Structure 1
Amino acid sequence: MPAVTADTLTLPRITVDETVRPRAVRSVTTAPTGYEGEGFPVRRAFAGVSQRELDPFVHMDQMGEVEYAPGEPKGTPWHPHRGFETVTYMIDGVFEHADSNGGGGEITNGDTQWMTAGGGILHIEKPPEWLVTSGGLFHGIQLWVNLPREHKLASPRYQDIRASKARLLSSADGGALVRVIAGEIGGHEGPGTTYSPITLAHATVSPGAQLDLPWRADFNALVYVLAGNGTVGAEQRPIHKGQLAVLGAGEAVRVAAGTGQPSAEPELEVLLLGGLPIREPVVHYGPFVMNTRAEVLAALEDYQAGRFGVVPAETLPHT
């Protein structure tokens, strides 16, 4: 269950003009499962979807949902990034972050860590030691947002977005809670600052309820199911946990929750993403997202030469 909840009857309501037709569904794909870092389970949300449909997004993993036993929680080793932004949204659980630019901290239960890698940075994400000892719930999202050519080598920066800062909204009938993390929905803005114009929101839809959201006509629109089942789009296409819907043109997005939900997942949980396509060449190699192969090779050379910074001395093992 998401950590951030609220009484929808007390929140601002989102309305959509009845004359606006919801976007239709272009495709629905099912995320394959895999492992990341030191071995934590993920669903590769964008697998099988073309970059043209995803633009300006590059990659997304659903991390967990998993209940770790003592000693099982895992993270990532130190690794580099250049040319994009990483967004880590913790729905439940705790993750620690540190980077070679001095940024970092702990994110937990609805917090978001927004790191602009820009020209190059080293970072690490891992569970705190107490969680490794005790075990516990771990569930989150990591999203990669592309940077346009003019900002590829921007200075790295870090945004620590606490759960309490997310903009909370309600559907017109009060049956859905929407948490706006970045961008704008119906005139309500989230706290995240982005180089590429995007919208990122997490919605919880009660069984049998329907959520209609106004959506910028020049944005693409993606709906990823974190939990539960329901329908999406003007044609009410069935969709369930681990599936991504790519929507077509239009000015509204519609999702609805099925009346019957799994006992462990009593509501439909969806991540809603949209952005203004950058429409530039993308060369994606491991932790680097650039415009040309030559730029990727330059990133590798800079990383190997130590130009992305150094791992803080206190994190190095003692000899």
Structure 2
Amino acid sequence: MPAVTVDDLTVLNRLRTPGLGDQPRPVLQVSTAPQGYEGEGFPVRRAFAGIDMRHLDPFIMMDQMGEVDYAPGEPKGTSWHPHRGFETVTYIIDGVMDHQDSHGGGGTITNGDTQWMTAGGGILHIEAPPEWLVQKGGLFHGLQLWVNLPSNDKLVTPRYQDLRSGEVALVTSYDAGALVRVIAGEVDGHAGPGATRTPMSFVHATIEPGARLDLPWSVDFNALVYVLSGQGAVGVDGRPIGTGQAAVLGAGDYLTITADGSQESRSPQLDVVVVGGRPIRESIAWAGPFVMNTKAEVLAAYEDFQKGRFGQIPVV
């Protein structure tokens, strides 16, 4: 799992340990992601399926894409499609993905890079492996997170952010047993490069076997932990959690994740994603690629898309 790594974690800044009076976040729910296919047929795990939207707010959904090792000719992506009313965050752990959209955004991301697209009032985009990768084949593994926008930001001008792995804030736990990558938001004063319209934090952590991560977390954010690979436990009461499972945490000052002392050879560490944000607490009307507040707004989005108001597919 390349992402961005550091050979010697002891050279990194360390997260503070929980202080006197700091409250750990309890585990409210653990769910297992169902598997399916998306786009042109690439495999996904629906990371947050089965979790009440009240616990997800301000997030809509998250897909773990892969992990899959494609043979030549097999790599797949998506066709051109529209979005309105939210942001898509595409984080590539292994492999290469190209992005292009109707507002001029685009680029190629690879190990540890992130594409942050604010769909806002409406955008057309495509995500696909480059042609050389389709011919060659190779490993593909990533995430796509959908972040809701509040009603007053639903129709903002679309925006594209290209976040490189070298920009990610890197810190470690107090005993240097975990590498914490802050991609967006802030954790214990360490800020990631992603600019968010909805206040939130997005972290990818790799925890060594037997190590424990006490992660300070904003008290006004919710908190969700998803296991990319490995086995461990979440919460101070040690609730077991493993590959493809998500944990919903309650209120508190910090969250605790512990890696089992013995891991499988394919996943020698515990890799998790932690996301949280300030709940928007507004009604949601969600249909396919549009996330709005009312059914009428969703119908208007379909009409605007059908009438070509989301921009034009660029000529290659």
TM class by shorter-chain length?
over 0.9
User: Counterpart of 2:255?
Assistant: 253
**1:287 & 1:158 partners in 2: Cα distance?**
17
- When normalised by structure 2's length, the TM-score is 0.98
Aligned 1:123-138 pairs, distance under 5 A: 123-138=125-140
- When normalised by structure 1's length, the TM-score is 0.98
Q: CA deviation at 1:124?
A: 0.2
User: Counterpart of 1:92?
Assistant: 94
User: Counterpart of 1:13?
Assistant: 14
User: Counterpart of 2:195?
Assistant: 193
Residue pair 2:18, 2:254 contacting (<8 A) in 1 also? no
User: Counterpart of 1:159?
Assistant: 161
Which of 206, 221, 224 is residue 222 of structure 1 equivalent to? 224
SS in 1 for 2:258: strand
Q: CA deviation at 1:15?
A: 1.2
Residue pair 1:21, 1:234 contacting (<8 A) in 2 also? no
SS in 2 for 1:313: coil
Between the two proteins, the alignment pairs up a number of residues equal to 314
**2:199 & 2:23 partners in 1: Cα distance?**
23
User: Counterpart of 2:120?
Assistant: 118
**1:116 & 1:240 partners in 2: Cα distance?**
31
SS in 1 for 2:13: coil
CA RMSD, Structure 1 to Structure 2 (Å): 0.7
Q: Which runs of 4+ in 1 moved over 4 A?
A: none
**1:2 & 1:86 partners in 2: Cα distance?**
22
Q: CA deviation at 1:2?
A: 2.8
User: Counterpart of 1:2?
Assistant: 2
Percentage identity across paired residues of the two chains: 66
Aligned 1:1-319 pairs, distance under 5 A: 1-6=1-6, 7-19=8-20, 20-314=22-316
User: Counterpart of 1:317?
Assistant: none
Letter matched to residue 112 of structure 1:
T
Q: CA deviation at 1:218?
A: 1.0
Structure 1 unaligned segments of length 5 or more: list them: 315-319
Letter matched to residue 165 of structure 1:
E
**1:60 & 1:3 partners in 2: Cα distance?**
18
SS in 1 for 2:29: strand
**2:17 & 2:152 partners in 1: Cα distance?**
35
SS in 2 for 1:224: strand
**2:19 & 2:258 partners in 1: Cα distance?**
16
**2:221 & 2:177 partners in 1: Cα distance?**
25
Q: Deviations over 1:268-289 (max 9, x none)?
A: 0000001000000011100000
Residue pair 2:3, 2:92 contacting (<8 A) in 1 also? no
Letter matched to residue 206 of structure 2:
T
Q: CA deviation at 1:234?
A: 1.9
**2:138 & 2:313 partners in 1: Cα distance?**
28
SS in 2 for 1:87: strand
Q: CA deviation at 1:3?
A: 2.8
